[in-house]
Structure 1
Amino acid sequence: MADQKYVTLQDDGRVQGNVEISHQVVEILLGIATNQVDGVYEMRGTISNRINSLFGRMNHGKGVDVVFSDDKVSANVYVYLEYGVSIPKVSLEIQRSAIEQLEFMTDLDLTEINVHVVGLIAKKENGELERVTADKKE
């Protein structure tokens, strides 16, 4: 089921037809919910994500991996946090926000969400940003 591109929502039988939600839509929902949490600077992306953002094309699902297995949804989110925030508090808020938004918008239950803090973004005194990371994918 990991290769499936859509998740199908079940109805109580009153309405005929199917509702299918693309994996990418779930990733976008979780990405937006994560980016809205105070203390999150950005999501981990690839070089192509960075190039696309230069041209004004945003990929809100970057930094999110979703797995569907036996009607269970689990996710991994990879984030850069602002230097000076409480990492445990921000991580718990990411989890809470993601679970709440996914359930509200899709009626899917997020059974597991793992938050991976891959780096910190610190502002120098001169206003420049310093990226502190041990992430090998950047």
Structure 2
Amino acid sequence: MEENNIIGDYGSVKISEEVVAIIAGIAATDVPGVAGMSGGIAGGIAEILGRKNLSKGVKVEVGEKEAAIDLYIIVEFGARIPEVAWDIQDKVKNSVQNMTGLNVVEVNIHIQGVNFDKEIKKDSETK
């Protein structure tokens, strides 16, 4: 696991890629329209990861003073995907930059699937 070294007046601070991934995962799952993070597509089905696996579904590359982040997302049915993606990019970039001091050069969003659970629950409740 790579770490980022930030040299300050009193010494250095090391930030691991997993810490950046967790920050990005929390920020992404807080965006309305995001059903969860995706652990990848297994057998053609995108699996939704719970809140315990926030660093899963996030790929981070950390340089000396900058970071690039890839997020694998499952969106809620009915959400406007471009708006959700822009909101994720904005929130993740701001959260990582504010918490770590790293310059986030890119946040790439990979939509892995659509969650239909809420729509199914609404249909069964109305019947």
| TM-score of the two chains, using structure 2 as the length reference | 0.81
Give the CA RMSD over aligned residues.
2.1
Mark the runs of 5 or more structure 2 residues left unpaired by the alignment: none
Check whether the contact 2:29–2:36 (CA below 8 A) recurs between aligned residues: yes
- Counterparts of residues 18-97 of structure 1 (less than 5 Å): 18-45=12-39, 58-69=52-63, 71-97=65-91
**For residues 69 and 108 of structure 1, do their structure 2 counterparts lie closer, same or farther at Cα, with a shift above 3 Å needed?**
closer
**Counterpart secondary structure, 1:126:** helix
Count of residues in Structure 1 that have an aligned counterpart in Structure 2: 115
From 1, 7, 12, give the equivalent of 1:10.
7
**Counterpart secondary structure, 1:37:** coil
**Counterpart secondary structure, 1:110:** strand
Superposition deviation, residue 5 in structure 1:
1.7
- 4+ residue stretches of structure 1 with deviation over 4 A? none
Superposition deviation, residue 62 in structure 1:
1.2
From 126, 132, 136, give the equivalent of 2:124.
126
Q: Which has the higher contact order (CA 8 A, sep 6+)?
A: 2
**Counterpart secondary structure, 1:44:** strand
In the other structure, the counterpart of 1:99 is: 93
**For residues 69 and 106 of structure 1, do their structure 2 counterparts lie closer, same or farther at Cα, with a shift above 3 Å needed?**
closer
Check whether the contact 2:3–2:15 (CA below 8 A) recurs between aligned residues: yes
Task: Say yes or no: does 1:111 pair with 2:109.
Answer: no
> Which has the larger strand fraction?
2
Within 1, Cα distance between the matches of 2:7 and 2:104? 16
Mark the runs of 5 or more structure 1 residues left unpaired by the alignment: 128-138
Q: Percent identity?
A: 31
**For residues 69 and 19 of structure 1, do their structure 2 counterparts lie closer, same or farther at Cα, with a shift above 3 Å needed?**
closer
> Which has the larger helix fraction?
2
Within 2, Cα distance between the matches of 1:24 and 1:9? 16
